[in-house]
Amino acid sequence: MSDLSLAPAAATVAPLPAEPPAAVPRHVALVMDGNGRWARQRFMPRFFGHKQGVDALVRAVNVFADRGVQYLTVFAFSSENWKRPSEEVSGLMSLVLVAVSKYLTKLAGDGVRIRIVGDRSAVSEKLRKAWEHAEQLTKDNHRITLSVAFNYGGRWDVVQACRRAVAEGLRPEQIDEAWLASHMALSFAPDPDLFIRTGGEMRISNFLLWQAAYSELFFTECLWPDFGAAEIDAALLAYAQRDRRFGTIRPNQVMPEGI
Ligand code: FPP
């Protein structure tokens, strides 16, 4: 007899939020795009744009925290960014090191908990140590959690969770959405409510593919170094006006019986 049953598999799904969505997102995901164009508009090298981008990030973390956002996850370096010219890649690597030494004390004092998510195996020992230090120093902070996605890709994240399932010897029926979600890189955070991308492109670019399943998307032409309090408030206002249904319908949309 064929095993092709039409009955859906009885998989456990990751729980959706029990409470109605709040007006302020708990978790914001951010693609900080447009540094290169921002620099070019000023006849400056791309690196100058990235440098300004770090300053914009430090400002933005505090604005998001002031507005009540508890988790901010930023795409600092994607799995695909290695394909950029080698001088830009090494410039970004050293910029992160400089940024940690320049801003860590301030961010720690501002109550920011720092987490790094992504594949650490390909980065230098020096950078790994700097991240471990930043995570350790800020681990007890609670105002906002800043997760820096570095050498991160949404597909990498799914693959690494699957590899862990195999390494742990799980049987197929033991793997479900809840198990995978708890083994993804951002398992310590709720899924992002709001996904913002600056710089005018309207795509997700392999960021948080799993976690952004029900995120509200907000795209803006604003180039990342210019993304300040006014732009953040515009994004938060747009979010507050969205109608989030997580695949369900509102009770008043249910058809009368027989229709
Ligand atoms: C995209 O702009 C931006 C990046 C690839 C890097 C973003 C990184 C930072 C802002 C630095 C983060 C640093 C720390 C310490 C977290 P782009 O170069 O693609 O700009 P373009 O689209 O205008 O060329």
Task: Kindly list the structural domains of the chain, giving each domain's residue range(s) and its CATH number in brackets, ordered by start.
Answer: 22-155+192-240 (3.40.1180.10)
- Output the furthest CA–CA distance in the chain (Å, rounded): 70
pLDDT higher for 252 or 51?
A: 51
Q: Which amino acid is at 192?
A: P
pLDDT tens track for 89-132 = 999 999 999 999 999 999 999 999 999 999 999 899 999 999 99
* pLDDT score recorded for residue 8: 47
Tell me, using a 6 A CB cutoff, whether residue 127 lines ligand 1. no
CB contact at 8 A, 201 and 32: no
* pLDDT score recorded for residue 245: 80
Is the predicted pLDDT of residue 56 greater than 80, yes or no? yes
Percentage of residues in the chain with pLDDT exceeding 70? 88
Q: Residue 28 pairs with which residues in a beta bridge?
A: 72, 194
Tell me, using a 6 A CB cutoff, whether residue 50 lines ligand 1. yes
* pLDDT score recorded for residue 209: 97
pTM, two decimal places: 0.89
Mutate to test the pocket of ligand 1, among 30, 31, 32, 35 (most ligand atoms within 8 A of CB): 35
Is residue 35 annotated as a catalytic residue, yes or no? no
Q: Residue 115 pairs with which residues in a beta bridge?
A: 147
* pLDDT score recorded for residue 16: 65
User: Binning pLDDT at 50, 70 and 90, where does residue 243 land?
Assistant: confident
Region 24-38 average pLDDT: 98
Region 80-90 average pLDDT: 93
Write the CA distances from 126 to 54, 63, 100, 106, 132, integer angstroms: 19, 30, 12, 21, 10
pLDDT tens track for 121-155 = 989 999 999 999 999 999 999 999 999 999 999 99
Question: Is the Cα torsion angle 160, 162, 163, 164 positive or negative in sign?
Answer: positive
Is the predicted pLDDT of residue 246 greater than 90, yes or no? no
For Cα atoms 142, 103, 211, give the angle at the middle one, nearest 5 degrees: 50
Tell me, using a 6 A CB cutoff, whether residue 53 lines ligand 1. yes
* pLDDT score recorded for residue 21: 65
